[in-house]
């Protein structure tokens, strides 16, 4: 609860540095966009 009250309610807020998340985010968005253009649907974990 203390983390939530400090505004750190996600694992990415407490464990994974922002610059790492930006790197991963770019790659995921590319993969998801590619899948979407091909008519595929992907879950966030894919």
The set of residues, in sequence order, having a beta carbon less than 8 Å from that of 12 and lying 6+ positions away, is 21
| Phi, psi at 31, each rounded to 5° | -65, -45
Per-residue pLDDT of the chain (46 residues), as tens digits, is: 777 787 776 666 667 777 888 888 888 888 888 988 999 887 777 6
Domain boundary assignment for the chain: 2-37
Whole-model pTM above 0.75?
no
- The span from the CA of 28 to the CA of 35, in Å, is 10
What does the pLDDT read at residue 11? 67
Residues 6+ apart with CB under 8 A from 35: 41, 42
Q: Residue 2 in contact with residue 9, Cβ under 8 Å?
A: no
């Amino acid at each position: 609860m203390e983390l939530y009250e400090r505004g750190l309610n996600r694992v990415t807020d407490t464990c994974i540095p922002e610059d790492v998340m930006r790197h991963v985010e770019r790659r995921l968005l590319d993969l998801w966009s590619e899948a979407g253009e091909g008519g595929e649907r992907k879950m966030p974990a894919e």
